[in-house]
Structure 1
């Protein structure tokens, strides 16, 4: 089974950077910020009033009315991203062989907008009731279940909960699912942490930026870093067995060749910074399993939390892994905000699109590198050298993950 290779043949992006992979790529290349005032609810009384929203998102374009009233916006974003990924891969909306398709997504906050509305109704109305769908719409596995039903994917399905690290873990699990026999796995993540309850939970960590200017609010690795901005959206991928993909003449974006996951065994607090040793260990595990030497890495896409002590810890981990080699580092979270597990999935999309377009995009900052954050930030776009990327992510409460991607050769990655 280890001979079964897992490749990405479809990318679906629904994020503040745009709807569709092409829109996201244009935003990344232009370095255009898509964060601004939160509009999904009135955030006037909160210290953080900025975030990344999917502008003009019309959920009805991607699913039917019945599913819309039964599910949360987080799942609506998942419906859209999955539909786009399947279309991009040239696959049908429903599995021809249901037991040959699987779904493995990541989740963290679940359907909090739906849940907040129902709980407010419970405690504010004389009837003291909630809708019949409350029990399934807020559940952290709701998107996995709904996508399995919609696309008739009856193979092994699951959900991973590791906060931001989960977006990478879902792809690692998809590879294992392919090796165990599945031909197609829908993997990745979307998120919508923009509700009064969700924002209050994030504010309690002390890690959000309260800067009022969107151009200055989220600045990872910068001397003026003040925390992150929350965001919705993410990316879903079609992960396909290589032989299955080539037999139908599919375009291949790249292959997931290695992954690593470790844990700090420490809760995230107002004073914590993450363990650079365990973070570096996750990176080394991923490189080792991929059979890749640090000097071969073309591009590193970091977690980029935007909290000074976390940024320093991440830079320390990267320097430990890449001592003497200094690969180009490029981050674009400042453009979109941090969408938790959806954000790390979006980083994977960026890396694969970089290889597809034969262009490593310039990093969206930092303008002035903070002390202790000295890395080789990519200041101008350039062509790939080895077509190998390392994508890194940390989840709150100690999760660390890293993923190695090898971009397809130009002839293998051509359109059908």
Structure 2
């Protein structure tokens, strides 16, 4: 079996609809963090978010499906369709049991769920819709993509918060090795509703700063947490030989993956992030010097930023590799964030440019953080790092094919 490659990209993000629209805005360093408009946030300590403001569900989702599903699933369906079109794949032309769907989700359909709970409390159980039982389930997007496109191969969902998008891509790689022809994979989340925001606040990691330019500044001495966002990205992952046989355009190869879990609080064992990074490089058969850019997890929480900066400096050496965190423009998208970083990394490889980190005024000593403006540089290999709340650590290596 040859290497797994990415042949189609789909993205729905606060910076645009479609991978290229998102990419162009990212290269310009545009900020999409702004006051929340999806509900009145005035009574909450966090009032900023990265919202997808130009998304209209009926432009992307069959009308009968819209009332059955959550906003998060609508965006996932749109991203999947974009990815299929970008890959020039018509699902009806592929054997249905050879197509799979693996997505990541951390929050599920909380906006849909909140509406139904309000109906329950205010009006009684007779006013709760039948779709409540499935629309907020974290596997709903996987199921709806599978149904819409007739994909009856092995389907699943991974719930490891921000790390989930990388874990889903790694599972797609396993499915290809087991004989699946094509996998729709990545992640999305959309939990910008009161119910969802309260759940996120419980982590203690969200920024309450009101200035959009300084609310999410990872690695900065004034870092104070992160800003939540919505959206994500889905990709088409295929075996390289099959992709070549049908003349597909290839964005890059999924070359390596590492995953670890942090020890319990109070343990004398170190966090598992370094081991995840080293395992990903080992899986790809690469040395640290082979990596051209790192897309950082960039939590924005000072103690967690110190851990990540220390890991990158230890593995790559002081200022040994350019590091970037374009998520500073849009916030952390949870299950959608790392998948979107993977898409952005593939586009950096395609165009030979590293997107910037915005808002950060000073980087830690030893970290070559790409600040302010995009940096032209040959990029053949990129490392994407992600950490999920609860101790999940994942690292994914993508590189130019061939």
Normalising by structure 1, what TM-score?
0.93
Q: Tell me if structure 1 keeps the 8 A contact 2:349–2:379.
A: no
CA distance in 1, matches of 2:325, 2:268: 19
RMSD: 1.8
Aligned residues of 1:6 and 1:256 also touching (Cα < 8 A): yes
Using the TM superposition, give the Cα deviation of residue 109 of structure 1 relative to its aligned residue in structure 2, in angstroms: 0.5
1:278 is aligned, of 267, 272, 276, to: 272
1:22-66 C-alpha deviation (Å, 9 max, x unpaired): 111111110010111111111110010110111121111112111
SS at structure 1 position matched to 2:272 = helix
Deviates more, 1:357-366 or 1:11-20: 357-366
Kindly indicate whether the alpha-carbon contact (under 8 Å) linking 1:302 and 1:393 is maintained by their aligned counterparts in 2: yes
- Aligned residue in 2 for 1:249: 247
* Structure 1 residues 322-341: aligned runs within 5 Å: 322-323=316-317, 326-341=320-335
Choose from 370, 374, 395 the match for 1:378. Answer: 370
SS in 1 for 2:242: helix
Unmatched 5+ residue regions in structure 2?
none
Q: Secondary structure at the match of 2:322?
A: coil
Alignment of 1:182-331 (within 5 A): 182-266=180-264, 277-323=271-317, 326-331=320-325
Q: Check whether the contact 2:12–2:232 (CA below 8 A) recurs between aligned residues.
A: yes
* Structure 2 residue corresponding to 1:387, chosen from 380, 383, 386: 380
CA offsets per residue over residues 143-177 of structure 1, 9 Å max, x none? 00111111111111111111111110000000111
> Structure 1: which 5+ residue stretches go unaligned?
410-416
Contact 1:255 1:405 in 2 (8 A): yes
Distance in 2, Cα, partners of 1:63 & 1:251 = 26
Deviations 1:210-248 (A, max 9, x none): 111111111111112111111000000000111111111
1:218–1:334 CA contact under 8 A, matched in 2: yes
Alignment of 1:47-86 (within 5 A): 47-86=45-84
Q: Counterpart of 1:367?
A: 361
TM-score, structure 2 length as denominator? 0.96
Tell me if 1:354 matches 2:352: no
1:28 aligned onto 2:22: no
8 Å Cα contact 2:353/2:378 also seen in 1:
no
> d(CA) in 2 for partners of 1:273 and 1:253?
41
Compute the displacement of 1:274 (Å).
Answer: 12
TM superposition shift of 1:385: 3.7
Structure 1 runs, 4 residues or longer, greater than 3 Å off: 126-129, 272-277, 379-386
Partner Cα separation in structure 1 for residue 171 and residue 111 of structure 2: 28
Looking at structure 2, the residues matched to 158 and 229 of structure 1 have their Cα atoms a distance apart, in angstroms, of 28
